[in-house]
Amino acid sequence: MCGIAGQLALDGREADPALLRAMAERIRHRGPDGEGFHVQGPLGLAHRRLAIIDLSEAAAQPMATEDGALRIVYNGEIYNYLELREELTRLGNRFRTASDTEVILHAYRAWGTGCLTRLRGMWAFALWDAEREQLFCARDRFGIKPFYYTLAGGSFLFASEMKALRAHPGVGLRPDDRTILTFLAWGVSDHSARTMVDGIFQIPPAHSLVVKKGRVEGPVRYWDLALREDPGRDSRDEDRAAAREFLKVLRDAVRIHLRSDVPVGTCLSGGIDSSTLTVLINDLVREEHPASVGDRQKTFSAGFSDPRFDESAYADLVAARTGVDAHRVVPDAEGFWQDLPGLLDAQDEPFASLSIYAQYRVMRLAATQVKVVLDGQGADEQLAGYLGYQWSHVRGLLASGHLLTALREAAGILRYHRGFVRDSITQLRVRRRRRALIRGTPEEILRYRGSLPRVLYREIFSTNLPALLHWEDRNAMAFSIESRVPFLDHRVAENLAAQPLNRRIHGGVTKWILREAIRGIVPDEIRCRMDKMGFVTPEEVWMKEALAPRILEIFSSPSFNSRPYWDTEAVRAEYRRYLEGQTPYSPEFWRIACTELWLRAVFDRADPGTAR
């Protein structure tokens, strides 16, 4: 895990060493263990190192093949690097390090750009091919690792974070109005190649691009996921066999994600996904003794004094059953406000929910004990874990003529999720009204349109997971810690994509195949949970109580009044109605406030916490 940056001058000039150093300095937190540079003609590469695999100096970057024909800067982990190394050695390749970085170089030499389909892991890299005079840039299948780029001053510039690109005086001068409006209206971010900064783009998940002969070719997709559309049939034996096979694939993914030369811990929220990982890791500790975990697994959780948002009892249950070394932090509103400038700086863009803060604090806690954590991100989008997917499932079944199955699912929704149905109807009405607070013409984002497989595909690659992975990466790297997500191992994803719909949602029960797979492994008090929380915060309570004076100050400031994105008087009036108990909470209030603070910090060059 590292930070990368680089420049390829497209106009024949030489790369700028001072710019490369400035870019690297802005992402020092991503790699406190060392730095490296390579400047030759139009090419400049910069690297900040977080040493995880092969801690020796031989594994430092930028790294080149022995003949110097290929050179790379890379951020991520290739978990099957040992297997690939063995295969490449049989093909005649000679290795000088024990790193996964060198494996990518030889894989590219052996298989060209097709090497991407052989990699198992997370990555963002730029590889210079001197013979072809081209820069090959790629991002992993799900976009776990970031890759931003821009064209400025006759150069192609790239980096792990946007703040590094803004080291160039011609980059990041204006916000991207349309992307900001879409975020404000619909709460989505990272849903396309565009960012909230004008002129800065990102390589989408499962895409690569090539820069040569003065132009950028791509991005082009190199991998895709086909989600099965049929509702399936009730066959207890087949379903149990599918669950056993899924558990086998997931266990293998967890095993390979534990490969590390530094200590590894686990994020434990108390939900089904993180509890499953914790139990599987604990089994592997007993059976295979991975050195990265040690004799006793360390877990990291967040708890709250308000029982409506606290999952401590579930995390404690897992800890008691497994005997892990459990650690917990208790975020609060005052701590959030104090940490907000650093959190905004880490994220580089406004964020849609305060739930990000619980994860931020968990990562800070984990960094005191380990250098790598495993997290359950990605399970909800693949297994239809969010309750909002239920109605898409029913509508899709009706549209495809499966009336009886649709009725069964609707009955299950009412049986298990009656409160959610009531609250969601209210929220839909409130959010529709509050979109009128936004001025301009945002892109229309209809997250739940279409059948369940189409909705989940959209959520995986566009409307939900990319933003969560953005938060995950920045929260972890802010504290120089690597976060790994085994549910996004592509073999796990392909197994789940091949399952019929009734193994995702069955009679209103979400994540059916996972619940069946962990029967007898994870405590039933967790396995049979029907609520959905994760690392959340008491956002609604904080916004009505502790944070209210500060939010009102933001909404009354001169800078807020000057923005073209919202109706300032209407925003203030609507927020006061909420504070007086006349209308329910919805996240538009936070999105607007967060965007204002981000605009101050990035474009006004002001302290985001001060009224202007």
Q: Given the structure tokens 């392909």, which residue do they identify? A: 494
Residue closest to 77 by CA, chosen among 128, 15, 125: 125
Structure tokens at 148: 């931003």
3-class secondary structure, 536 = coil
Q: Which regions of 460-526 does DSSP assign to beta strands (E)? A: 482-484
Q: How far is CA 168 from the centre of its chain?
A: 26
Q: Are 185 and 435 in contact (CB under 8 A)?
A: yes
Q: Which run of H or of E encompasses 38?
A: strand 34-40
Q: How many CB atoms lie under 10 A from the CB of residue 68?
A: 10
Pair 200, 148: CB distance under 8 Å: yes
| Six-digit token string for 19 | 């710019």
C-alpha to C-alpha distance for 275 and 254, rounded to whole angstroms = 13
Q: How many residues does the chain have?
A: 612
Q: Are strands 148-152 and 155-159 parallel, antiparallel or unpaired?
A: antiparallel
Whether the Cβ atoms of residue 252 and residue 280 lie closer than 8 Å to each other = no
Choose among 12, 21, 156, 27: nearest CA to 480: 27
Per DSSP, the residues of 179-200 read HHHHHHHH---SSSSB-SBTT-
User: For residue 90, what are the contacts with CB-CB under 8 A and spacing of at least 6?
Assistant: none
At residue 321, the 3 state secondary structure works out as: helix
Catalytic site includes residue 2? yes
Q: How far is CA 423 from the centre of its chain?
A: 27
Q: Which of 384, 401, 393, 372 is nearest to 293 (CA)?
A: 372
- Which residues are part of the catalytic machinery? 2
